[in-house]
Amino acid sequence: MDSQDNYRGGWNKGRRGWRGTARGGSSTPHPPQPLGPAVDRINVNSILVELDDPTIEDVRYIASYNWVNGKNPVILVPGSPPAWTPPAEDTRLKPDSEDVFRDINAARYPAYPLEPAVRSVLAMEPKFDFESLDIVGCGSTIGNLMRCAGGQPKPFRFDANVVGDTVLFVRRENSPTEIIADLQGWGHTFPEAYTTWDAEVRNSCSHQRIIQYGFGGLEILIRTETDGYVRPRSTTPKLASNTVGANADLILEDTLDGIAVGTQVPSQSGTLEIRMAGNVIPQDQIFDIKTRASYKSYNMEEILPRLWANQTPNFVIAYHNLGLFDQPTVTPIAQDVLQWETTNSSLLARFHALIKRIVDVVRDSDHKHFEVSWDGHGSLCITEQIGEGRTALPSDLLSLWDNDE
């Protein structure tokens, strides 16, 4: 199994939208900044479990957006993921040859990587009740905490901001444009050959979805990337065509410019532009992709935690022999996800206890800007950010929580 095939499909995903160049990204890790004063240390092995079998309930699609491939930060709302369009015959594909951004949201909009998600929610639900949320997170931050709860030794570090009574988990890499160098395999060329962006969202490079659900009494809003969707056979989706912002013509020009070309290096500055375009794709039509060398079976236990967290009901496991795939198909796995939830009730009880403890600790503090970190063993640490702290959102969005920040 090659390293890229092992990488795709996990919590920190890569696909066509994450690609960059060595010129625009940083493959040399920056030295980590020191941690601030400790607020709490949590031993997951001895944490007090409050619920024996917490489950996800009341799942609701809230919003979505596509990143447009270009130097300026432009999103399409609601956008849509690429459609499943397998070729009539499988042909051998070239292996991946480009680098991958670790975090596309930070790479394309480093000032406030969480802002596009909140803007897209406001565009689709102007009266959305942000104050009702306990946690706003993403696949990376939620996945890191779940791995910690399960004792999987992978270090991590991310920001936690308290806004009103809501805790915002914000992914943090050593650099916004940090890339994962030397990846090998077919994790990008496969979706490029087997999926297609719809015409109204062409030149997109990533589809991000925001859903809300309850988990053991906690209301969670989570943003994750989606690999694709299955088109319905007999329905025609409705196109949203109105535009938000004063630079619609420029945005459209950027969108149409450079179709089917490589990902451009994003600018490190500029105002986020929003264009209303694309289709709302129902949750039951989306899927994730995993590629794997044909000589080794894929263990679904590797992907089910992610599919559970982002409530993805379909999956493509694409086996190949040196890039020649063997008629991959989209498989419904909703029942597998439900069975995983039942079987892993002990893990989910620890995970629930962990995130609730973090929420309670930071809410009770006089401080508002924290970091959550784990070195892969020992206790998880909650520390104050050094200095003034990094604010997760601009002031106009912070005011949605009607607080004094």
pLDDT tens for 187-216 read 889 999 999 999 999 999 999 999 999 999
Mean pLDDT across the chain: 85
- Answer whether residue 371 shows pLDDT above 90: yes
Q: What percent of the chain has pLDDT over 90?
A: 70
The tokens for 16 are 């066509």
Q: Does residue 357 have a pLDDT over 90?
A: yes
Separation CA 330–CA 348 (nearest Å): 27
Which residue type, as a one-letter code, is found at position 278? G
Residues in the chain: 405
Cα–Cα distance measured from residue 51 to residue 66, given in angstroms and rounded to the nearest whole number: 37
Per-residue pLDDT at 245: 39
Written as six digits, the tokens of 250 are: 């420029």
Quote the distance between the C-alpha of residue 362 and its chain's center. 23
Radius of gyration of the chain (CA): 20
Residue type, 354: L
> What is the C-alpha to C-alpha distance for residues 389 and 156, in angstroms, rounded to an integer?
19
Locate the DSSP E strands across 153-272. 156-163, 166-171, 179-180, 195-196, 204-215, 218-225, 228-229, 243-244
- Per DSSP, helices labelled H in 57-167 are 104-108, 115-124, 139-149
Average pLDDT for 166-188: 82
Return the axis-axis angle of helices 345-364 and 139-149, rounded to nearest 10°: 110
Is residue 21 within 8 A of residue 261, CB to CB? The reply is no
Give the pLDDT band of residue 288 (cuts 50, 70, 90). very high
Q: How much is the pLDDT for 383?
A: 97
Instruction: Read off the amino acid at residue 396.
Output: D
Higher-confidence residue of 33 and 199: namely: 199
Contact status, residue 145 vs residue 215, Cβ threshold 8 Å: no
341: pLDDT strictly greater than 60: yes
172 band by pLDDT with thresholds 50, 70 and 90: confident
> What is residue 258's predicted lDDT score, i.e. its pLDDT?
31
The proportion of the chain whose per-residue pLDDT surpasses 70, expressed as a percent, equals: 81
Question: What pLDDT is recorded for position 252?
Answer: 33
**Per-residue pLDDT, 261:** 29
Calpha distance 50→39 (Å, rounded): 22
Instruction: Output the pLDDT for position 263.
Output: 41
pLDDT at 359: 98
The residue whose two tokens read 């960059």 is: 20
- Note down the domain range covering 229: 3-401
> What is the model's pLDDT at position 269?
55
Q: Which pLDDT does position 240 carry in this prediction?
A: 41
Task: Please state the domain count of the chain.
Answer: 1
Q: Is the pLDDT of residue 404 over 60?
A: no
State the average pLDDT over residues 241-259: 35
Q: Which of 24-33, 171-180, 181-190, 304-313 has the lowest mean pLDDT?
A: 24-33
Which pLDDT does position 400 carry in this prediction? Answer: 95
Which one, of 58, 157, 152, 168, lies nearest residue 344 by Cα?
A: 152
Better-predicted residue by pLDDT, 404 or 89? 89
How high is the pLDDT of residue 222? 99
State the burial class of residue 311 (Cβ atoms within 10 Å of its Cβ: 0-12, 13-18, 19+): buried
Question: What pLDDT, on the 0 to 100 scale, is given for residue 267?
Answer: 52
The distance in angstroms from the start CA to the end CA of the chain is 49
